[in-house]
Amino acid sequence: MSGRKSVSKIITVILFIGLLAGTALLSRQKLSSGNGGSLQTKEQALEKYGFYLEPDNKAADINFRHQSPELDPKLKHIAPQIASMGASVSVVDFDNDGWNDIYFTNSRTGSQNALYRNLHNGKFENVAVQMGVANVNKKGTGVSMGAVWGDYDNDGFEDLLLYKWGRPELFHNEGGKKLVNVTEGSGLPAWVNANSAIWFDFDNDGLLDLFIGGYYDEKYDLSNLNTTKIMPESFRYANNGGRKYLFKNMGNGKFKDVTIEYGLNSTKWALAAGAADLNGDGYPDLIIANDYNVDEFYINQHGKRFVERGKQSGIGDIPKSGMSVAFGDIDNSGLLGIYTTNITEKGILIQGNNYWKPTGPQMQEPKYANLAQLAGIENAGWSYGEQFGDLNNDGYMDLYVANGFISGKKGTSYWYDYSKVTGGNSNIIGDAANWPDMEGKSQSGYQQDKIWLNNSSGLFEDVSEKVSPYADYDGRAVAMADLWNRGVLDVIVANQNNIPLIYKNIQQNNNHWIDFDLHGTASNADAVGAKVELQWSGRKQVQVITGGIGFSSQNQHRMHFGLGAGNKVDRVLIHWPSGQTDEINNPEIDKLHNIKEKKARA
Amino acid sequence: MQAIEKENRTNTGFWSFWKANYFTYVPPAFITLILLIGQIFFGILDSYINVVASIVTSVVAEELLARFVLGTRKNLASAYITGISVGILIRSNMVWPYVVTALISILSKYVLRYKGRHLWNPSNFGVSWMLLMASAYVAGLGIQWGNYVLPMCIIWLLGIGIVYRAKKLHITLVYVISFTALAYVRSLITGDAFLAELAPLTGPMYQLFIFFMITDPGTTVSTKRGQIIVVILVALVEFVLRLDGFIYAPFYALCLVGPAAKFIDLKKNTPKTEVKLAV
Backbone angles phi, psi at A307, to 5 degrees: -120, 125
> What type of residue is B117?
R
What residue spans of A296-405 are helical by DSSP H?
Answer: 310-313, 372-375
Q: How many CB atoms lie within 10 A of CB A63?
A: 13
List A346's β-bridge partners, or say none.
none
Residue A14 CB neighbour total at 10 angstroms: 11
CA A317 to chain CA centroid, Å, is 21
pLDDT value at residue A426: 84
Digit-coded pLDDT (tens) for B229-255 = 999 999 999 999 999 999 999 999 999
The answer for residues whose C-beta is within 8 angstroms of residue A455's C-beta and 6 or more apart is A396, A461
B214 φ, ψ to 5°?
-75, -15
Strand-pairing partners, residue A358, are A368
Distance CA(A552)–CA(A539), nearest Å, equals 32
What is the helix, strand, coil percentage profile of chain A, to 5? Answer: 15, 35, 50
Q: What is the CA radius of gyration of chain A?
A: 24
A181-217: pLDDT as tens digits: 999 999 999 999 999 999 999 999 999 999 999 999 9
**What value does the mean pLDDT take over residues A142-146?**
98
CB neighbours of residue A181 within 10 Å: 15
Mean pLDDT of all residues in B13-36: 75
- What confidence category does residue B206 fall into, taking pLDDT thresholds of 50, 70 and 90? confident
Cβ separation of B136 and A26 shorter than 8 Å? yes
Q: Which residues from A are below 8 Å from B37, CB to CB?
A: none
B277 or B273, greater pLDDT? B273
Written as one string, the DSSP assignment of A487-512 is SS-EEEEEETTS--EEEEEEE-S--E
Chain B residues lying within 8 Å of A419, measured CB to CB:
142, 200, 247
| Whether B42 and A417 lie within 8 Å, measured CB to CB | no
CA distance B49 to B237: 35
Q: State how far the Cα of B170 lies from the Cα of A157, in Å rounded to an integer.
A: 74
Beta carbons of B143 and A423 less than 8 Å apart: yes
Question: Which of A347, A423, A425 is opposite residue B139, by nearest beta carbon?
Answer: A347
Contact A437 B192 (CB under 8 A): yes
pLDDT one-digit tens code per residue, A456-496: 878 999 999 899 999 999 999 999 999 999 999 999 999 99
Position B275 confidence tier, pLDDT thresholds 50, 70, 90:
very low
Dihedral angle of Cα B173, B179, B182, B188, to the nearest 10 degrees:
-130
**In the prediction, which pLDDT does B142 show?**
61
pLDDT recorded at residue B212: 84
Share of chain A above pLDDT 70, in %: 98
Q: Which residues contact A348 (CB under 8 A, 6 or more apart)?
A: A415, A419, B135, B139, B140, B142, B247
Q: Looking at per-residue confidence, does A460 or B13 come out higher?
A: A460
Q: Could A422 and B144 be called an inter-chain contact, meaning their C-beta atoms sit closer than 8 Å?
A: yes
Determine which of A15, A16, A23, A311 to mutate to test the interface with B (most B C-beta atoms within 10 Å): A23
Cα–Cα distance for residue pair A82/A481, rounded to 1 Å: 30
Query: For residue A429, which of A270, A596, A562, A235 has the smallest C-alpha distance?
Result: A235
Q: What is the pLDDT of residues B101-140, one digit of tens each?
A: 999 999 999 999 999 899 999 999 999 999 999 998 998 8
Angle at CA of residue A44, ends A42 and A48, nearest 5°: 120
What 3-state DSSP class applies to A203?
coil
Size of chain A, expressed as the number of residues it contains: 602
**CA neighbours closer than 13 Å in the CB half-sphere of residue A478:** 29
What lies within 8 Å, CB to CB, of A359 at 6+ separation is: A314, A366, A367, A368, A369
C-alpha distances in angstroms, A532 versus A149, A396, A517, A599, B88?
21, 15, 11, 17, 45
Residue A319: is its pLDDT beyond 80? yes
User: In this predicted structure, which of A234-243, A291-300, B14-23, B103-112 has the lowest mean pLDDT?
Assistant: B14-23
Note whether A77 contacts B: Cβ–Cβ < 8 A: no
Q: What value does the mean pLDDT take over residues B54-68?
A: 95
pLDDT class of B15 with cuts at 50, 70, 90: low
Nearest to A234 among B71, B146, B199 (CB): B146
Average pLDDT over residues A577-591: 97
Dihedral of the alpha carbons of A295, A296, A297, A298, in degrees to the nearest 10: -160
Q: Give the ipTM.
A: 0.88
pLDDT tens, B182-203? 999 999 999 999 999 998 888 7
Compute the count of residue pairs across chains A and B with CB atoms less than 8 Å apart.
167
* Calpha distance B179→B201 (Å, rounded): 8
Q: Do B139 and A16 touch (CB under 8 A)?
A: no
Q: Which residue of A has its CA nearest to B247?
A: A416
**Tens digits of per-residue pLDDT, A122-134?**
999 999 999 999 9
Q: Which residue of B has its CA nearest to A422?
A: B143
pLDDT at B7 over 50: no
Res. A171: pLDDT tops 70: yes
* C-beta atoms of A423 and B138 within 8 A: no
Interface check A10 vs B, CB under 8 A: no
CB-count exposure of residue B124 (10 Å: 0-12, 13-18, 19+) = buried
| pTM metric for this prediction | 0.92
Q: Which of A8, A27, A429 sits opposite B137 (nearest CB)?
A: A27
Band (pLDDT 50/70/90 cuts) for residue A423 is confident
Given a cut of 60, whether residue B8 has pLDDT beyond it is: no
Query: How does DSSP assign A450-475, residue by residue?
Result: EEEEE-STT-EEE-TTTSS------E
Min Cα–Cα distance to chain B from A242, Å: 18
Q: In angstroms, rounded to a whole number, what is the distance separating the alpha carbons of residues A461 and A398?
A: 9
Query: Measured between alpha carbons, how far is A182 from A525 in angstroms, rounded to an integer?
Result: 20
B235: three-class secondary structure by DSSP: helix
Which amino acid is residue A193, in one-letter code?
N
* Nearest CA-CA partner of A82 in A398, A555, A438: A438
With CA atoms as reference, report the closest residue to B150 among B43, B46, B41. Answer: B41
pLDDT tens, residue by residue, A527-553? 999 999 999 999 999 999 999 999 999
- pLDDT > 60? residue A218: yes
Question: Average pLDDT for residues A145-174, to the nearest whole number?
Answer: 98
DSSP assignment of A241-274: SPPEEEEEE-SSS-EEE-TTTTT----SEEEEEE
pLDDT for residue B4: 41
Provide the H-helix boundaries in B74-213: 77-89, 96-111, 122-133, 149-165, 169-190, 194-198, 204-208
Whole-angstrom CA distances from A582 to A522, A530, A539, A542, A576 are: 12, 11, 19, 14, 8
Q: Find all residues with CB under 8 Å of A327, minimum gap 6, and list them.
A: A274, A276, A336, A337, A338, A339, A388, A543, A544, A546, A549
Cβ-contact A511, A394 below 8 angstroms? yes
User: What's the CA gap between A545 and A151, in Å, rounded?
Assistant: 13
Closest CA to A362 of A533, A591, A564: A533
Of A273, A396, A404, residue with least CA distance to A326: A273
Cα dihedral B76, B82, B87, B89, rounded to 10, equals: 160
pLDDT of residue A40: 72
Distance from the Cα of B247 to chain A's closest Cα (Å) equals 5
Instruction: Give the pLDDT score at B271.
Output: 63
Across residues A566-577, what is the average pLDDT? Answer: 96
pLDDT digits (tens, 9 = 90+) for A274-284: 999 999 999 99
pLDDT of residue B274: 42
Is pLDDT of A345 > 60? yes
pLDDT-derived band at B3 (thresholds 50, 70, 90) equals very low
Tell me the chain A residues in contact with residue B93 when contact means C-beta distances shorter than 8 Å.
350, 352, 373, 378-379
Mutation for testing the A interface, residue in B39, B51, B195 having most A CBs under 10 Å:
B195
Which chain A residues are within 8 Å of B120, Cβ to Cβ?
A: none
Residues of chain B contacting residue A236, judged by C-beta atoms under 8 Å apart: 42, 143-144, 146
Alpha-carbon span A351 to B139, nearest angstrom: 9
Give the pLDDT of residue A271: 98
Distinct helix (H) and strand (E) counts, chain A: 9, 38
User: How many C-beta atoms surround the C-beta of residue A412 within 10 A?
Assistant: 15
Question: Would you mind telling me the total number of residues written for chain B in this entry?
Answer: 279
Amino acid letter, residue A370: N
Q: How high is the pLDDT of residue A202?
A: 98
B61 DSSP 8-state letter: H
Asked whether the beta carbons of A476 and A402 are under 8 A apart, the reply is yes
Say which residue, A259 or B139, is predicted with more confidence: A259
At A135, is the secondary structure helix, strand, or coil?
coil
pLDDT at B154: 79
Q: What is the pLDDT of residue A39?
A: 61
Q: Name the H helices within A337-471.
A: 372-375, 415-422, 426-429
Among A419, A438, A439, A443, which would you mutate to test the B interface (most chain B Cβ atoms within 10 Å of its Cβ)? Answer: A419
Given a cut of 70, is residue B20 above it in pLDDT? no
* Closest residue by Cα to residue A284 from A349, A208, A225: A208
Question: Is any Cβ of chain B less than 8 angstroms from the Cβ of A190?
Answer: no
Top pLDDT among B30 and A503 is at A503
A positions 423-482 inside 8 Å of B (CB): 423-426, 428-429, 431, 433-437
Are the CB atoms for A193 and A222 separated by under 8 Å?
Answer: yes
What is the tens place of the pLDDT at every residue in A83-123? 999 999 999 999 999 999 999 999 999 999 999 999 999 99
**One-letter amino acid identity for A114?**
A
Strands A255-257 and A244-249: antiparallel
pLDDT at B143: 61
